[in-house]
Amino acid sequence: MGILIKGGYLIDGKAKRGEVYDILIEGGKITSIGKDLSPGPDCEHLIDAARKVVIPGLIDMHTHAREPGYEYKENIKSVSEAAAAGGFTTICAMPNTKPVNDNRTVTEFIRSRAREAGIVTLLPIGAITKGSQGVELAEIGELYDAGCLAISDDGRPVMNSEVMRRGMEYARGFDMLVISHCEDANLSLGGVMNEGIISTRLGLHGIPPAAEEVMVARDILLAEYTGCRLHLAHISTAGSVRIIREAKSRGIAVTAETAPHYFTLTEEAVEGYDTNAKVNPPLRTSLDMAAVREGLKDGTIDLIATDHAPHALEEKELEFDQAPFGISGLETALSLTLGLVEDGIFSLDEAILRLTINPARVLGIDKGYLAVGADADIAIIDLDDRWVVDPARFRSKGKNSPFAGWKVKGSVFMTLAGGRIVFSR
Amino acid sequence: MGLKGKDLLGIRELETDEIGLILDTAESLKEVSSRDIKKVPALRGKTVVNLFFEPSTRTRTSFELAAKRLSADLLNISVATSSVVKGETLFDTAKNLEAMMADIIVVRHSSSGAPDRLARRLKSSVINAGDGSHEHPTQALTDLYTIRERKGGLSGLIVTMVGDIAHSRVARSNIYALVKMGADVRVAGPPTMIPAGIDKLGVRVYYDLDEALSGADVVMMLRLQLERQGKALFPSIREYSRLYGLNKERLRFAKKDALVMHPGPVNRGVEITSDLADGASSVIMEQVTNGIAVRMAVIYLLSAGRA
């Protein structure tokens, strides 16, 4: 038993080691980090990581695993494989499955399927309300007991402010994180893309930035009032960034994420009615994109999540207004984030923190760093590798990517989860 | 010369000389409809399919007559609801038609962009007969033809478009077309019906109808979708009509010889009074007649491009 990773440039996520170190893994844990470690007699794998970067396995706070109920889009095994291929070793499964993950039975089913797949750590997120209908609270205490660290009515935001307030209050009793998909469903009703000159040209019903921002503001105010830990999902507008920045400056316990498409694409990607660029919240303007980048840089936005939303090919082949929202994102997230390093937004270290220790801290899990005694969740990446995104080669069943054909830089060479090699290029 | 693309999806993609070519071709084909035998053999052996995913009488009929007067074989297919219900996508339907060797597919669809997406996948020519709130290019070409015939040209004319610009495909196509041809385009309506960033298309926005009509050569009224009252876009038909309805008194703000247009069907007494719709300034019926010639021209030119 044992794996030795030799000669990789180490970014450990805590002590900010920026040097070449070897890592010894035994029994699923890191047992030694040092210079010139030599393989013991029972070393199974000697991994040559020379000229590569060794980082903690990535953590995705926002994944749609689709199982149970939508296995034709994705299942727990395929999403786990996609995660591993993208360098992720921990993913959080959103509850908008069929049935909704609003009770212990569904949570336990998801966890057992993840154990059977045995590839990455999958953390289920429970629903705030029964059936995510926004009316009655789900049995949040039982969801907590069953292993949900957070609750969210992702995709079906709780419109009733009283219900949201009570959900937050109730969750506080378990110190559970509440994740909010910020969307005023009345303001966004019928909308399929950002509202602006492009939606006007294309004759598509627009979603104004305010549809997101009024809910960002509401949920921050409710979090401040209830003392609940609030995490805001997939921030897409300049206004949201401004509101969150102000809230943080006042010390409110709010954290936020954005997804790679919001710092890489604008609404112009919708031209030609590309349904793969149909996502909720919608791709916004270049001003919004710049504000999201600035928010990531200064820490207003804590972390990067994928909002991996796989769909079947025939669903994305529908008319633009009929096609479902979502982008298959697990296998492009790292390269797109490295694009921000290329663009000088932040350093490589800072980029990796936003995909590892930052989400770990928000979730309150003991992962996202490399140290002796830590779980051997590790990604080995090749920064100089240039490749062309080809969704046909995704491990995910969801081939719906607006990045098809993009030339990107930086790829995953190998992923280890719990000390086992779960992906190797 | 002919049209550059294999399809006619919108006016946005057309160049000025292509618009001119369509109008000139329509002019020479218009005479066919006034003959005793209203037929020329130009498209004998060609197949045109009217693929309508949304109910329509006048546009479908207009395309049908246009194709028949060119001697093409014509097939009408109405898909009441989206074929998705049957588990078949838009592409499946269209690919079937292509496999049956349809030369031109005329598509009307309630979803913006549906003809565009079809055209990318098909070898057949696609003509957009109106898609969602996007474009209705043959209607705009018809309107251009009608204005040109009456006014002798388009450049420098003041054209005022009134109503629900946000949801109107006729408005978008006419804005692109008229701006390209050098007209001075104004849009007027309540702010709830003026879409974001419309001024970037080169038009001026008015919320006061009298001001918008001042000195206009052409007044284009748009059909009010009455069900939009329930979506908080306007308070009542009464108030809409009072603020944005066209009547004789209002029309006095426009030039004396101003043309009154409407793509039909007209909500009489709502966006326009009956006396005006049927009056001397109205060219609404000429629009219908000219629509056939313009559609003949489009079918003819796309077909010639394929030969």
Q: Which residue of B has its CA nearest to A194?
A: B196
pTM above 0.90, yes or no: yes
* Nearest CB to A320; choose among B111, B196, B197: B111
Residues 114-143 of B with CB under 8 A from A: 114, 116-117, 120, 131-135
> What is the block-wise mean pLDDT of chain B (307 residues), using blocks of 10 residues?
91 97 96 89 94 91 97 89 61 84 94 94 95 97 98 97 96 98 98 96 98 98 84 91 96 97 92 95 95 98 78
Query: Which residues of chain A have a pLDDT value below 50?
Result: none
Q: How far is CA A86 from the centre of its chain?
A: 11
Q: How far is B79 from chain A (nearest CA, A)?
A: 14
**Residue A393 CB contacts under 8 Å (≥ 6 apart), including other chains:** none
Query: How far is it, in rounded angstroms, from Cα A41 to Cα A265?
Result: 50
Query: Which helix (H) or strand (E) element contains residue B249?
Result: helix B248-251
> Which pLDDT score, from 0 to 100, does residue A10 have?
95
Alpha carbon of B44: minimum distance to chain A alpha carbons (Å): 33
pLDDT at residue B2 in the model? 84
Contacts across the A-B interface (CB distance below 8 Å): 69
Q: Do B134 and A321 touch (CB under 8 A)?
A: no
Q: Which of A189, A193, A195, A200 to probe the B interface (max B CBs under 10 A)?
A: A200
B288 at A interface, C-beta within 8 A: no
pLDDT value for B307: 52
| Angstrom distance (rounded) from CA B144 to CA B218 | 11
Q: Which of A203, A272, A319 sits opposite B169 (nearest CB)?
A: A203
Amino acid at A90: T
Q: Which member of B111, B135, B201 has the closest CB to residue A322?
A: B111
Mutation pick from A188, A194, A267, A273 vs chain B, by most beta carbons of B within 10 Å, is: A273
From the candidates A288, A307, A375, A377, which is the catalytic residue?
A307
Active site residue A377: no
Across the interface, of A196, A204, A319, the residue whose CB is closest to B197 is A196
In single-letter form, the type of residue at position B194 comes to I
Give the pLDDT confidence of A356-384 residue by residue, as tens digits: 999 999 999 999 999 999 999 999 999 99
Task: State the pLDDT at residue B305.
Answer: 67
Contact B113 A320 (CB under 8 A): yes
Residue of A nearest to B135 (CA): A203
- CB pair distance less than 8 Å for A321 and B112: yes
Q: What is the DSSP track for A33-85?
A: EESS----TT--EEEE-TTSEEEEPEEEEEE---TTT-TTT--HHHHHHHHHH
Give me the pLDDT at residue B88, please. Answer: 72
Shortest distance, CA B133 to any CA of chain A (angstroms): 4
Would strands A206-207 and A177-180 be described as parallel, antiparallel, or unpaired?
A: unpaired
Q: How far is B231 from chain A (nearest CA, A)?
A: 10
Among left, alpha and beta (phi > 0; psi -120 to 50; other), residue A251 is left
Nearest chain B residue to A207, by CA: B196
Q: Identify the pLDDT of residue B1.
A: 65
Which of B117, B170, B203 is the best substitution to test chain A (most A C-beta atoms within 10 A)?
B117
Tell me, what's the ipTM?
A: 0.94
